[in-house]
Amino acid sequence: MEDLQAIAAVERAMVAIRRSQSRRAIQRIAGGAQMDPALFGVIDAVEEGPEAATVSSVADRMGVDQPRASRLVTRAVESGLVRRVADPEDGRRSTLELTDLGAEQAEQVHRFRREVFGTAMRGWPEHDQREFARLLTAFVEALGQRQRRG
Cα–Cα distance for residue pair 107/100, rounded to 1 Å: 11
Cα–Cα distance for residue pair 142/72, rounded to 1 Å: 27
DSSP H or E run through 96: strand 90-98
Identify which has the larger pLDDT, 117 or 2: 117
44 and 64 Cβ atoms separated by less than 8 Å: no
Q: What integer best gives the mean pLDDT of the chain?
A: 86
Reported as a single tens digit per residue, the pLDDT across 58-109 is 998 888 999 999 999 999 999 999 999 988 787 788 999 999 999 988 888 8
DSSP H or E run through 106: helix 100-120
| pTM of the predicted structure, to 2 decimals | 0.75
Cα–Cα distance for residue pair 26/21, rounded to 1 Å: 6
Reported as a single tens digit per residue, the pLDDT across 38-62 is 788 899 999 987 788 999 999 988 8
Query: Is residue 32 scored above 60 in pLDDT?
Result: no
57-64 own/partner pairs: CB under 8 Å, 24+ apart: 58/96, 63/147
Reported as a single tens digit per residue, the pLDDT across 128-149 is 999 999 999 999 989 877 766 6
Q: How many Cα neighbours within 13 Å face the side chain of 15?
A: 6
